[in-house]
Amino acid sequence: MQTVKIPLSIEPAKAALKRMTYDGIIVKGNLSRLNEVAEVLTDHVNVSIECGVDPQDLVVIQGTATASLELTCQRCGKGLKAEVTADFVYTPIRNAAKESEDPIPEAYDEIELDEYGSISLVHLVEDELMLALPIVAMHEPKDCELGNKNMSFGELAPEATVQEKPNPFEVLKKLKT
């Protein structure tokens, strides 16, 4: 199957009425913020997006994005190859729709339309991949140069002996008798 480039932006309402499906790639050069976060974006990002209308007549954009990255291991400082996958479900809104009475189901994230009624697929996918990155990128302990070595810096304070304090309610016991 031939890989095609995903369009940079779409008009969700038109795409949903046509039940458009986009399977392809986003060129790694278009993902500047992801390139800054990752040490190396090893390949283009594979993307699959489906547009449609749900039973509530809401426009829905759902999809999956997968990227192969090289991150820096926070334990040993060496390169770490990781594959990041992000699943997403969005419904587009306009500014006025935020105040509408009909609540949007919790399963959907909201994405705001620009002044032309379209959304940027590149920014949407890039945001989702950045959110899917590990908080602290580390090798598995068996694969890391430092392994399971616990690191601590500085000196640990000696454990202080705990002195028993007198109970302040002992006085009340004397009053009772």
pLDDT per position as a tens digit, 67-83: 998 888 888 888 888 89
- CB contact at 8 A, 30 and 8: yes
Q: Which residue has better confidence, 123 or 75?
A: 123
Mean pLDDT score, 85-102: 76
Closest CA to 67 of 41, 48, 89, 87: 41
pLDDT per position as a tens digit, 7-44: 888 999 899 889 999 999 988 888 888 888 888 877 88
Mean pLDDT score, 119-129: 92
Q: Is residue 65 pLDDT above 90, yes or no?
A: yes
CB contact set of 158 (below 8 Å; sequence gap of 6+): none
DSSP 37-90: HSSEE-SPEEEEEEEEE-TTS-EEEEEEEEEEEEEE-TTT-SEEEEEEEEEEEE
Rounded to 5°, angle at Cα 18 from 107 and 8: 75
What predicted TM-score, i.e. pTM, was given to this entire model?
A: 0.74
**What are the structure tokens assigned to 128, written together?**
């989702």
